[in-house]
Amino acid sequence: MTEAETRPNVARMYDYYLGGCHNFAADRAAAEEVLKIFPDTGVAAQTNRAFLRRAVRWAAEQGIRQFLDVGAGLPTQGNVHEVVRAVAPDARVVYVDHDEVAVAYARRLLPTDGRTVVLRGDLRRPDEMLADPLLRATVDLAEPVALLLVAVLHFVPDGDDPWAAVARLRDATAPGSLLAVSHLTLDGAPPLPAQAGTAVYRRSSAPLVPRTHAEVIRFLDGYDLVEPGLVRLADWRPDGEPRAAVSHGYGGVGIRR
C-alpha cells in the first residue's frame, strides 16, 4: 500500500462522512474516531453540502456563469456543475483540489464536456493556480466568477496566511464576482472533545484549524456580505434541507466591490 492509502486523508474522510465509497481503511478508521467524539459529523457534512448547493444555486440565479470551486473534494451527489446547470446549462465550472487522489477520481467521474474541468492546484499558491492554462481556457477572469471556498480554508494553517491567498484570488476576479465561504468553528463547542477531534486530524493529510467568527469574516474583506451575513451554515437561506442539531460551521456569501 502507498502512503497515500495508509495515511488518513481529509478528502476521503469527508467522503466517508457523506456515505461515499471512495475511501480506504485508514480513512474510515480515522473518520470513525471523529464520529465517536462528534456523532453528528455525518449530518454536519450534509449540512455543509446543502449550504454549498444553496449558495451555488443562488449565484446562478444572480446570473453568474463561471464557477471556480477550490478544495472541491471527491465527486458526490449534487455536484456544483449539476446544481449550476439546472439553472444555467451553459455555465462553466472549474474544480480545483491539491489532493492527487481527489483529482484522479474527479477526472474519472465528472463529464468531459469542455465546460467542466478538473485541475490540480493549491489554494496556498493562488498565482500558480490562476496561471493554469486550462483554468484560463475555461474561465474569463474579466467577467464575474463565483469563487467557492467551501470547507477548505480550515485546512490551511495561519502560518500559510490563507487571508493573503484569498485576497489574491479576490483581486484577480472582476467586480461583481462572488465568494462563498464555509468554515469549521468551535465557537460554542465544549473544549475537551474539540481538542480530541482536531488531534485526529493532526495524523491526517492536513491539520484542521477551526476559526472564530471574527477570523472567518476576514476572508470576506473587500466583499459586501449578502443577507443573512456570515451565519451558522444551516441558517444561510435555509430551504428545509437536512441540518445538524449543533452546527460547527459558518457560511456566508459576498459580492466583490
Ligand X SMILES: C[S@@+](CC[C@H](N)C(=O)[O-])C[C@H]1O[C@@H](n2cnc3c(N)ncnc32)[C@H](O)[C@@H]1O
The span from the CA of 203 to the CA of 48, in Å, is 23
Of the pair 138, 205, the CB lying nearest ligand X is at 205
210 scored as a contact of ligand X (CB under 6 A): no
- The one-letter amino acid at 243: R
247 scored as a contact of ligand X (CB under 6 A): no
8 scored as a contact of ligand X (CB under 6 A): no
The span from the CA of 251 to the CA of 229, in Å, is 8
The span from the CA of 170 to the CA of 150, in Å, is 15
The span from the CA of 41 to the CA of 119, in Å, is 28
The span from the CA of 68 to the CA of 166, in Å, is 13
204 scored as a contact of ligand X (CB under 6 A): no
Give the burial class of 199: count Cβ atoms within 10 A of its Cβ; 0-12 exposed, 13-18 middle, 19 or more buried: middle
Span from 106-114, 118-126, 193-201, 211-219 in contact with ligand X (CB under 6 A) = 118-126
Report in angstroms how near the CB of residue 108 gets to ligand X at its nearest. 15
Binding mask 155-194 for ligand X (x = CB under 6 A): xx--------------------------------------
C-beta atoms surrounding 58 within 10 Å? 18
Of residues 52 through 111, those in contact with ligand X by CB under 6 A are 52, 70-73, 97-99, 102
Q: Which residues bind ligand X (CB under 6 A)?
A: 10-11, 14, 48-49, 52, 70-73, 97-99, 102, 122-124, 150-152, 155-156, 206
